[in-house]
Amino acid sequence: MGKRGPAPEPTHLKIVKDNPGNRPLNYQEPKPCPIFKLPSAPRWFDKYAKKEWKYMGKILIKTGVLTEADMSTFGAYCCAHARWRHAEDEVLKYYRENGRMTEGFLGKRQRIPELVTLEKAFNQKITTAQRFGMDPSARTQIRVDRPIHIDDFL
């Protein structure tokens, strides 16, 4: 089970707000260096993971979210994306060949096992993506130290 309540605010924001909760401040909060150039994807990544590495890596660097400390988590996100794509391919292939349901034990209809894999991979992808602010509600929880200009996206 995850942590309860809202995510803690970074120390620099507490200072700007004059520490409204009057709780002790963490002046030793780590500040990893942002990445300005995306390294090449690991060689063991498959085609789906490499494509996502390049695509989302550029976006996360432009927004100032991706740091040196995040590379392992970002790699895990790309692998989850690849597993999701492979599972999606398998499910679509099964549907084209056999229809939506399969015969289970004692002749009862049941979902295909590939669908369970697809759902798990999708949940892993979404959970990891939220850590990088890849959905609108997660983006409201993330703060970056540099201002973002619209020219960065053009």
- 4-62 tens-digit pLDDT: 777 667 676 677 777 778 888 777 777 778 888 999 999 999 999 999 999 999 998 88
Assigned domain for 20 exists: no
Assigned domain for 51 exists: yes
Return d(Cα 40, Cα 42) in angstroms, integer.
6
Assigned domain for 2 exists: no
Assigned domain for 4 exists: no
Assigned domain for 117 exists: yes
Our count of domains for the chain comes to 1
Whether the predicted pLDDT of 136 surpasses 60: no
Buried b (16+ CB within 10 A) or exposed e, 79-118: bbbbbbbbbbebbeebeeeeeeeeeeeeeeeeebebbebb
Name the pLDDT band for 85 (thresholds 50, 70, 90).
very high
Assigned domain for 58 exists: yes
Rounded to a whole number, what is the largest CA-CA distance in the chain? Answer: 66
Assigned domain for 145 exists: yes
The three-state secondary structure class of 50 is helix
Assigned domain for 16 exists: no
pTM of the predicted structure, to 2 decimals: 0.68
User: Domain range holding 125?
Assistant: 35-153
Residue 106 · residue 69 · CB < 8 Å:
no
Predicted pLDDT at 153: 41
